[in-house]
Every structure is written in structure tokens, then in C-alpha cells.
Structure 1
Amino acid sequence: MDICKITYQTFRRKNVTGLCKMKRNFKQSSVKIYKESISALKDLKSIAAHITSLGKIMNKVEDTPLQTLIKSHD
């Protein structure tokens, strides 16, 4: 086998593995953000505390539909 072909196959295998790990980590973080949002809604102590917690969640999240929902809630 050609050394370039072996190197390419190794690079591709590592790259695909890295992408799968990134995708899995992204899914786990998305689920965590949604759980935080739901718990913030359930733990409504005062309006100010509720808005503050939603603001903190919105600043952490990159999910545009969730950001839109939070912004429309205010």
C-alpha cells in the first residue's frame, strides 16, 4: 500500500471519530440546556428570578428556536 493512502485512511478514520464525538457532545449539551430551561420554568419563585435564570440560559445556548421562545416569553 502507498504511504499516502494509509495516511489518508488514518486521517479520515480519526476525523470521522472526532466528528461523531463532537456530535454526541453537542446532543448531550442541547439536552442539558433544555432540562435547565424546563427546571427554570418549574422553579418559579419570583418574576425577577425567573427572568434572570432565563437570561442566563439564553446567553449559554446557541439553539435559535430556544432563544426565540425565551425572547418571546419576556
Structure 2
Amino acid sequence: MKAFTYRRVKKDERDAADLADLLRLGRLPEAWLAPSATRELREIVRGRHKLTALRTNCRNQAHGVVAKRGIAA
């Protein structure tokens, strides 16, 4: 697999052929998937992060409008 990163010229056809050879020889490493419980927790954390960012954005916009109007908050 390291040979792919050291090539000076990248060719999709050559990469595909090399990957097919590695797969045929059984030398292609498997991808790791997190357990379903971990994936579920990650999804919850991503959702919470998005909601927190949205809340912060709304709060900042409100402060900007109040500051533009010259109202002391």
C-alpha cells in the first residue's frame, strides 16, 4: 500500500490494477468500522455540535442587531 504514496506520477488505471492485484492476493487491508454503539454516540455528538453552533450563530446575530441599534445589552 505504501507504494501508492511514493509514486511521482499518479495514474488511475495503474492504481486500479494494483488494487485489484492486492485484492486477488488477499493482501488488501480491511477497513475498520466502529461498533454500532460508538457510531450512534458519534451521531448524537455531531447533532449536538450542530445545534450548539446554530444557537451561537443566532445569539451572535441578535447581539449584532442590538449593537447596530445602539442599545446597551
TM-score by length of 2: 0.50
Larger radius of gyration: 2
Q: Which has the higher contact order (CA 8 A, sep 6+)?
A: 1
Structure with more helix by fraction: 1
TM-score, length-normalised on structure 1?
A: 0.49
